[in-house]
Amino acid sequence: MQKINDIRLLLAVLAPLIGAGLVMVTGKKRPNLREGCSLLASTSLFVLVASMIPAIFAGKMLHYTVFKLLPGLSVSLRADAMSMIFAVCASFLWMVTVFYSAGYMRGLNEHEQTRFNVCFALALFGAIGCAFSDNLLTLYLFYEIVSLCTYPLVAHHQDEESYESGKKYLTYLTSTAKGLVLPAMVLIYVLSGSLDFATNIHTGILPPGVHRGLVTALYICCILGFAKNGVMPFHNWLPSAMVAPTPVSALLHAVAVVKVGVFSTCRVMLYVFGADIMHKFDLGLPTAYFVSFTIIAASIVALSKDNLKARLAYSTVSQLSYIILGVALLTDTGIEGGLIHIANHAFSKITLFFCAGAIYVATHKKNISEMSGLGRAMPFTFGAFALASLSMIGAPPVCGFVTKWYLVNGAIDAHSIAILIVLLTSTLLNAAYFVPVVYSGFFGKTSEADVKHKFTEAHPSLVIPLTITAAISLVIGLYPQFLMHFVQHVL
Partner 1 sequence: MDILNYNHSVLSVLIFSPLIAAGIAAFIRNEERLRWWTLIYTTAAAAYSLPLYWHFNLGTADFQFTENAAWIPALHIRYALGLDGISLLLVLLTTLVMPLCVLASWRYIQTRVKEFMICLLIMQTAMIGVFCALDLVLFFCFWEAMLIPMALLIGIWGGPRKIYAALKFFIYTMAGSVFLLVAIIALYLKVGSFSIPDMMKQGPLFSHQFQYWLFLAFFLSFAIKVPMFPFHTWLPAAHVEAPTAGSVLLASILLKMGTYGFLRFSLPMTPWATQHFTPMILALSVAAIIYGGFTALAQTDLKKLVAYSSVAHMGFATLGIFALNEAGLKGALLVMINHGVTTGALFIVVGMIYERLHTRDLSKAAGMGKMMPIFAAFAGMFALSSMAFPGTNSFIGEFLVMAGGFKVSIPMMVCVVPGVVLAAAYMLRMLQRFAYGGVHNPDHSHLQDLGLREIVTLLPLLVFVFWIGLHPAPFTRVMDASVSHLLAEVGPAKGAQVAMTARTAPADLAPALGVRQSSGALETSQPLLYATVPRLQPAQNPGAATR
d(Cα 146, Cα 100) in Å, to the nearest integer? 21
Q: Which stretch, 103-111, 185-193, 291-299, 414-422, contacts partner 1 (CB under 8 A)? A: 185-193
Q: Which stretch, 187-195, 279-287, 321-329, 475-483, contacts partner 1 (CB under 8 A)? A: 187-195
Neighbours of 392 (CB within 10 A): 27
281 touching partner 1, by CB under 8 A:
no
- Shortest CB 171 distance to partner 1, Å: 8
Of these, 8, 157, 178, 280, which contacts partner 1 (CB under 8 A)? 178
Name which of 72 and 396 has its Cβ closer to partner 1: 72
54 touching partner 1, by CB under 8 A:
no
Which amino acid is residue 133, in one-letter code? S
413 touching partner 1, by CB under 8 A:
no
Q: Which stretch, 65-73, 82-90, 392-400, 441-449, contacts partner 1 (CB under 8 A)? A: 65-73
Neighbours of 376 (CB within 10 A): 13
Neighbours of 171 (CB within 10 A): 12
- Shortest CB 274 distance to partner 1, Å: 18
40 touching partner 1, by CB under 8 A:
no
- Shortest CB 273 distance to partner 1, Å: 17
- Shortest CB 216 distance to partner 1, Å: 13
Sheet containing strand 60-70, strands side by side: 2-5, 60-70, 73-79
Q: Which stretch, 99-107, 181-189, 263-271, 289-297, contacts partner 1 (CB under 8 A)? A: 181-189
- In 3D, which of 322, 285, 291 has the Cα closest to residue 414? 285
75 touching partner 1, by CB under 8 A:
yes
d(Cα 75, Cα 64) in Å, to the nearest integer? 9
190 touching partner 1, by CB under 8 A:
yes
Name which of 181 and 342 has its Cβ closer to partner 1: 181
For partner 1, how many residues bind (rule: CB under 8 A)?
40
Give the x-and-dash track for 146-175 against partner 1 (CB under 8 A).
--x--xx--x--x----x--xx--xx--xx
Restricting to residues 195-234, name those near partner 1 by CB under 8 A: 207, 209-211, 214
137 touching partner 1, by CB under 8 A:
yes
- Shortest CB 133 distance to partner 1, Å: 11
Paired residues of 61 in beta bridges: 3
- Shortest CB 158 distance to partner 1, Å: 6
- In 3D, which of 57, 37, 184, 173 has the Cα closest to residue 118? 37
Of these, 5, 54, 58, 70, which contacts partner 1 (CB under 8 A)? 70
186 touching partner 1, by CB under 8 A:
yes
Of these, 69, 418, 421, 424, which contacts partner 1 (CB under 8 A)? 69
- Shortest CB 21 distance to partner 1, Å: 13
Name which of 193 and 460 has its Cβ closer to partner 1: 193
Of these, 11, 187, 300, 395, which contacts partner 1 (CB under 8 A)? 187
**Computed from CA positions of residues 295, 299, 305, 306, in that sequence, does the dihedral angle turn out positive or negative?**
positive
Restricting to residues 337-376, name those near partner 1 by CB under 8 A: none
- In 3D, which of 294, 301, 306, 399 has the Cα closest to residue 350? 399
Of these, 57, 67, 443, 482, which contacts partner 1 (CB under 8 A)? 67
Of these, 3, 28, 30, 68, which contacts partner 1 (CB under 8 A)? 68
Tell me which residues touch partner 1 (CB under 8 A). 67-73, 75, 137, 140-141, 144, 148, 151-152, 155, 158, 163, 166-167, 170-171, 174-175, 178-179, 182-183, 186-187, 189-193, 207, 209-211, 214
